[in-house]
A and B are shown apart, each in its own frame.
Chain A
Amino acid sequence: MIKGGFAGKILIVDLTHGMITEKKLDDELAERFIGGLGICFKLAADYIPPGCGPLAPENAIILGVGPLVGTSLPSTSRVFAVSRLPSSNTLGWCGAGGVDFGCQLKNAGYDHIVILGKADRPVYLSLVAGRVEIQDAGHLWGRGVEDTCETLWQEYPHPAGVLAIGQGGENGVVFSMAFIDRIATLGRGGLGAVMGSKNLKAILVRGKKGIRVSDRREYKQLITPFLRQIREYPHLKEWQRMGMIKSFPYVSTDIYQKIRKRRIACVSCPIGCKDAVEIADGDYQGTTICSSSVINLFIPVIYGLEDYRESIRLVHLLDGYGLDTFEFFGVLKFAQVLQEKGLVPPSDLDGEIDLLSLASLETWAERIALRQGFGATLADGFTGMINRYGTETKQYAPALVKGMHPYTGPGSALPWDLFGTMELGQILDPRGPHVGSGGSPTYFARRPLAVFYKHFERMGIPKNAFDRIIVGHSPETHQLKVGRLLKYSHSWFGLLGSMGICVRAQINRFYHAELCAGFYEAVTGIPTTVQDLRERVNRIWTLYRMLNLRDDSGNRAAENIPEQWLRSGGFKEYVTEQPLNRTAIIEMIGDYYDEWGWDRLTGVPPEQLRHSLDL
Chain B
Amino acid sequence: MEAYSIHVFEANCTFCRRCQLGCSNAYTREFNQNTANIRIEVSGLTCSITFSDDCRKCGICVDHCFYGALQKVAKEAA
Residues in A lying within 8 Å of B, measured CB to CB: 70-72, 100, 103, 107, 157-159, 208-213, 216, 230-231, 236, 240, 261-270, 272, 276, 288, 290
Contact = CB atoms under 8 A, between A and B. Distances in A.
Q: Which 9 A-B pairs have the closest CB atoms?
A: A210-B32, A210-B30, A265-B16, A270-B66, A265-B14, A158-B42, A72-B21, A272-B14, A211-B31
A68 to B, nearest CB: 10
14 contacts: A71-B21, A72-B18, A72-B25, A100-B17, A157-B42, A209-B32, A210-B34, A211-B31, A212-B30, A266-B16, A267-B18, A268-B18, A268-B21, A272-B66
B30 A262 contact: no
B71 interface: no
A18 B45 CA distance: 36
A124 to B, nearest CB: 21
A231 B65 CA distance: 10
A72 B22 contact: yes
Contacts of B51: none
Contacts of B11: 262
B45 A72 contact: no
Interface string B1-18: 000000000010011111
Interface residue SS majority, chain A = loop
B16 A269 contact: yes
B24 interface: yes
Interface of B: 11, 14-18, 21-22, 24-25, 28-35, 40-43, 45, 64, 66-67
Given A240-B66, A262-B45, 9 more contacts: A71-B21, A72-B64, A158-B15, A210-B28, A211-B32, A262-B11, A263-B14, A267-B21, A268-B21
Interface residue SS majority, chain B = mixed
A159 B33 contact: yes
Nearest to A276: B45
Contacts of A263: 14, 67
B11 to A, nearest CB: 8
A103 B24 CA distance: 14
B24 A268 contact: no
B33 A107 contact: yes
Contacts of A262: 11, 14, 45
A157 B15 CA distance: 14
Contact of B30 (A103, A211, A272): A211
B16 A270 contact: yes
A107 B34 contact: yes
A208 B34 contact: yes
Nearest to A288: B45
B33 A103 contact: yes
A304 to B, nearest CB: 30
Given A231-B66, A276-B45, A71 B31 contact: yes
Contact of A210 (B18, B24, B41, B67): B24
Q: Chain A CB within 10 Å — which of B24, B32, B34 has the most?
A: B32
B45 A261 contact: yes
Contact of B32 (A157, A208, A213, A290): A208
Contacts of A211: 30-32
Contacts of B22: 72
